[in-house]
Structure 1
Amino acid sequence: MQKRILLYYFFISVALGSFIYTAQQLKIALPKIVNNYINDFLILPIVLTVCLFILRWSRRNKSYTIPIGVIIYICVFYGVFFEYLLPKFHPRYTADFIDVFLYFISGVVFYFLQKNDSNIENVN
């Protein structure tokens, strides 16, 4: 039986992201890389997986995949919105090129995970 890696990745990402967010709120010291970058890497696969499941449900097509162009568009949107616009208007946000890079890397990870998930659906 083939595993649904995308679903596992989603739940692990939500759990890890929630743990990091909670630790930050409780002022627990975290390594800089964890504190500043892990959630930026996790967010796009989480958002895109939710979108994918809604699209598969609404289209009644269990093998539907989000096109690479849409994934790139979402990565650009997150980069511009969270790393360019919000830092100008809200002190909580800081512009960081590494975050933009992480958005794109995680978008690529999602692309391949969803393709794997789609191939599993076609086999069953």
Structure 2
Amino acid sequence: MACLLLFWLNQLLEWQHIFISPLYQYLDDLLCMPLVLTITLATERLYFSNNYFVLPLRYSLVAAVLVSIYFEVILPLFSPVYTPDAVDVLCYSVGVVVFQVLINRPL
């Protein structure tokens, strides 16, 4: 829930044209994996009716690799709006660690 709140606060600041560096540059990337993986975890738990289910680490790693390839390799090839940034990949990786350590626990 904290990740979602931080994301919305950052979006609200950007909408008001308030850009706080490095939050503006990297907070969305840092929060991406915890948000996506938490939604995935909740969906899995609902589908299987199992509150003890946790996502295996390999799922999180594959998700981070796919997000990195899509946002840092593929999208920049098709639009100048997107620029590849190795720090974004680092943020996705840190997000996986945050998810695995703090969020991905049985209820």
- Structure-2-length-normalised TM-score: 0.91
Q: Equivalent residue of 1:32, what SS?
A: coil
Report the structure, 1 or 2, having the larger helix content: 1
Aligned ranges 1:1-124 → 2 under 5 Å: 11-28=1-18, 30-115=19-104, 117-118=105-106, 121=107
The answer to whether the 8 A contact 1:87-1:94 is kept is yes
Alpha carbon RMSD of aligned pairs, Å? Answer: 1.3
Could you tell me how far apart the structure 1 residues matched to 2:82 and 2:21 are? 16
**How far 1:92 sits from its partner (Å)?**
2.3
The answer to whether the 8 A contact 1:84-1:95 is kept is yes
Identity in percent: 28
Unaligned runs of 5+ in 1: 1-10
- Structure-1-length-normalised TM-score: 0.80
Could you tell me how far apart the structure 2 residues matched to 1:92 and 1:15 are? 26
Larger Rg: 1
